[in-house]
Amino acid sequence: MDSTANTHSENYSAYKLALVIPFYNEEKRIMVDSFAGFVINNKDILFVLVNDGSTDRTDEILQAIHSDTAGRNTEVVSLPKNTGKGNAIRAGMLKVLHYNIPFIAYIDGDLSTPFEEILRLYNYFSGTDTIAVLGSRLKKLDSNIKRSLFRHISGRIIATIIDSRFRIGCYDTQCSAKIFRRDPLQSVIQEPFYTRWFFDVELLLRLRKKMGPFKALEVPLNTWEHKPGSKINALSVFSITKELYTLFAKY
């Protein structure tokens, strides 16, 4: 359910990109100043802030961001109950599909991927027929990727398991910095995702099933930083294992 209605006359054709950002109990981690500043300075991007059934002050803070920017290029979607990051992103995507904005992206609400990286990824669409541009946390000499050893090792194990089964060929399927062309996307997000952890993989598999092999670019991020308070930890291995089983069973 959408908690806000547009209070101004919106010209959606002016937006080059819709950026969907999910939040769940993030009241202590939302970087309000960073959001407000970037929103105000990037009026050709529609920011869709999705509150995924939070039980803290997250919704209040998102509404404040919307108010502080006079709602010029922000919308808040408030879900009545927690659905998981993937389906929260899906709810935001479904909303903006009706606006005919040509590209739809998503990142995490803690800004582990800085806004500037999304702008850089967006530029890779220029002059190409690429369907998707996917960020990758590939650590290089000239990059600033700050990731815990546990997350790096677990991520490589998961990526290897997934690629051995599905042959996606993606180095970092779980990086939450992705941009898609609107038209192919709309046909593959009508149904909810089956998993919380692997919705990115589900999205790529659905696109492949619908289109056959499709053109995508995987671009190493220049900057990514693991933020304190992440909901992924060593205890997550049990739910991740269960969801891998679900992923394999459904696809």
Question: Distance between CA atoms of 119 and 131, rounded to whole angstroms?
Answer: 16
Contact call for residues 195 and 202 (beta carbons, < 8 A): yes
Conformation bin of residue 25: beta by default, left when phi > 0, alpha when psi is -120 to 50: left
Question: For 128-157, how does the pLDDT look when each residue is reduced to its tens digit (9 = 90+)?
Answer: 999 999 999 999 999 999 988 888 888 889
Whether residue 7 is contained in a domain is answered as no
Whether residue 3 is contained in a domain is answered as no
Type of residue found at 25? N
Whether residue 5 is contained in a domain is answered as no
Average confidence score pLDDT of the chain = 91
Whether residue 46 is contained in a domain is answered as yes
Whether residue 1 is contained in a domain is answered as no
DSSP secondary structure code for residue 225 in this structure: E
**pLDDT > 70? residue 159:** yes
Contact call for residues 93 and 73 (beta carbons, < 8 A): no
Question: Distance between CA atoms of 193 and 190, rounded to whole angstroms?
Answer: 9
pLDDT at 77: 97
Whether residue 2 is contained in a domain is answered as no
Q: Cα 9 to chain center, whole Å?
A: 27
Question: For 59-112, how does the pLDDT look when each residue is reduced to its tens digit (9 = 90+)?
Answer: 999 999 999 877 789 999 999 999 999 999 999 999 999 898 999 999 999 999
Whether residue 201 is contained in a domain is answered as yes
Question: Distance between CA atoms of 125 and 133, rounded to whole angstroms?
Answer: 8
Q: Cα 134 to chain center, whole Å?
A: 10
Specify the pTM: 0.92
CA count, 13 A, side-chain hemisphere, 51: 28
Residue numbers of the domain that contains 44: 12-250
Nearest residue to 58 (alpha-carbon basis) of 3, 114, 113: 3
Conformation bin of residue 229: beta by default, left when phi > 0, alpha when psi is -120 to 50: left
Total domains present in the chain: 1
Question: For 201-230, how does the pLDDT look when each residue is reduced to its tens digit (9 = 90+)?
Answer: 999 999 999 999 999 999 999 999 988 766
Whether residue 139 is contained in a domain is answered as yes
Question: For 14-58, how does the pLDDT look when each residue is reduced to its tens digit (9 = 90+)?
Answer: 999 999 999 999 999 999 988 888 998 999 999 999 999 999 999
- CATH number, domain of 37, equals 3.90.550.10
